């Protein structure tokens, strides 16, 4: 069963990750994990992550009461859960949020977009759903989410996203709105002591991999590359070991529990004792149903993506190519 979750993002200002770690008596890596899982809202000033004091208090209060964040979205035939209790890893019955504006995707730039959307005259308060590209497109097809993100590479045509849309949303005209380009690559220990540089290095007996979950864009990239190169996953030690985020993969490598993982460059900059070996530039896009393009919230999203304020904020975060941000491709 795929683990899914959402949270509401709000504006904040305040403390560094080190200060939050000291307040909560946890490690900085754990703070980053809480942020990535959506349990602790954050934003960036330049390359620095900042967390609002009110959000820290809210997190502590919810931890004390064991509040379970769960959102249920009604499908055509039954009711499917988007919420999860992280302590028990069990899905729980909750309330229907069918009418909410829901954005799927895992990159922190979507948190920035959500914050801008709340302030826009035509905007709304959006929910964020942290599921991978493949599953996000499926939920868009089912009508459970408003906007999905995708970075799915097709090894047959060496192209991102275009071929997946008609397959996963058959009969539904869609707009592909470009967000950013990102660099994907290997996470390795500082100094790359095992000299891991190519996909074939993953098959070496002295190399242990940490993988990503099925359905996310990174996992699709890994499996497509292995297929294209004729490399059997059975030859890769650790292929069956999975983590749910770029940051978690980088952290696993940093603490020595794996020798290599795959993820984006930005996450490697947030984790100590990890080097990044660039492999491939990817396109990260928003997928929107064509019928929704003229609605006020979607128009707000398009205006935000093309705004100087939003693009400068992405430049401040770093790790993004914004040369085509806001460009629209409509598929009929």
| pLDDT of amino acid 332 | 66
Residue 266 parent element (H or E):
helix 265-268
In DSSP terms, 287 is beta-bridged to 148, 176
The 8-class DSSP code of residue 144 comes to S
Indicate the pTM of the whole model. Answer: 0.72
Burial state string for 159-190 with b = 16 or more CB within 10 A and e = fewer than 16 = ebbbebbeebbeeeebbbbbbbbbbbbbbbbe
Closest CA to 293 of 267, 331, 260: 331
The 8-class DSSP code of residue 114 comes to H
- Helix axes 296-305 and 109-119, enclosed angle (nearest 10): 120
Pairwise CA distance, residues 81 & 40, whole Å: 21
Class of domain 183-281: alpha beta
Look up residue 81 and give its two tokens. 């859960």
SS3 80: strand
Pairwise CA distance, residues 266 & 259, whole Å: 19
Q: What sign has the CA pseudo-torsion 311, 284, 102, 270?
A: negative
Q: What sign has the CA pseudo-torsion 247, 249, 253, 256?
A: positive
Residue indicated by tokens 């770093």: 318
Closest CA to 25 of 67, 52, 59: 59
| pLDDT of amino acid 314 | 95
Closest CA to 329 of 297, 296, 295, 286: 286
Domain residue ranges in the chain = 183-281
The 8-class DSSP code of residue 13 comes to -
Backbone angles phi, psi at 306, to 5 degrees: -95, 0
Pairwise CA distance, residues 239 & 251, whole Å: 17
Computed over its alpha carbons, how large is the radius of gyration of the chain? 19
Closest CA to 187 of 145, 222, 146: 222
Q: Please report, in tens digits, the pLDDT of each residue of the chain (332 residues total).
A: 334 444 444 434 578 888 887 777 676 777 887 887 778 888 777 667 888 877 777 776 665 443 233 333 333 333 333 443 333 333 333 333 446 899 999 899 999 999 999 999 999 999 999 899 999 999 999 999 999 999 999 999 999 999 999 999 999 999 999 999 999 999 999 999 999 999 999 999 999 999 999 999 999 999 999 999 999 999 999 999 999 999 999 999 999 999 999 999 999 988 999 999 999 999 999 999 999 999 999 999 999 999 999 999 999 998 999 999 999 988 76
The dihedral formed by the CA atoms of 202, 208, 210 and 214, expressed in degrees to the nearest 10 = 60
| pLDDT of amino acid 32 | 80
């Amino acid at each position: 069963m795929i683990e899914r979750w959402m949270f509401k993002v709000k504006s904040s200002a305040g403390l560094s990750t080190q200060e939050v770690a000291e307040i909560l008596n946890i490690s900085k890596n754990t703070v980053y994990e809480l942020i990535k899982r959506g349990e602790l809202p954050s934003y960036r000033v330049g390359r620095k992550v900042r967390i609002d004091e009110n959000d820290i208090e809210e997190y502590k209060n919810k931890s004390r009461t064991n509040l379970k964040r769960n959102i249920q979205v009604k499908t055509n035939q039954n009711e499917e859960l988007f919420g999860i209790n992280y302590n028990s890893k069990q899905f729980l019955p909750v309330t229907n949020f069918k009418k909410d504006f829901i954005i799927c995707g895992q990159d922190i730039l979507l948190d920035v977009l959500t914050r801008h959307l709340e302030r826009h005259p035509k905007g709304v308060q959006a929910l964020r759903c942290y599921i991978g590209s493949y599953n996000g497109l499926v939920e868009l097809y089912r009508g459970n989410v408003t906007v999905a993100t995708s970075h799915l590479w097709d090894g047959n045509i060496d192209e991102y996203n275009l071929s997946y849309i008609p397959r996963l949303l058959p009969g539904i005209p869609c707009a592909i709105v470009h967000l950013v380009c990102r660099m994907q690559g290997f996470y390795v220990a500082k100094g790359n002591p095992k000299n891991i540089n190519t996909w074939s290095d993953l098959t070496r007996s002295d190399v242990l991999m940490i993988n990503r979950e099925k359905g996310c864009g990174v996992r699709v990239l890994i499996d497509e590359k292995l297929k294209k190169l004729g490399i059997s996953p059975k030859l890769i030690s650790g292929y069956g070991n999975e983590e749910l985020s770029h940051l978690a993969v980088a952290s696993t490598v940093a603490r020595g529990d794996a020798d290599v993982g795959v993820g984006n460059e930005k996450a490697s900059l947030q984790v100590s004792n990890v080097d990044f070996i660039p492999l491939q530039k990817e396109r990260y896009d928003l997928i929107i149903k064509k019928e929704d393009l003229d609605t006020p919230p979607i128009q707000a999203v398009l205006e935000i993506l093309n705004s100087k304020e939003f693009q400068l904020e992405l430049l401040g975060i770093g790790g993004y190519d914004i040369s085509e941000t806001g460009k629209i491709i409509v598929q009929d």
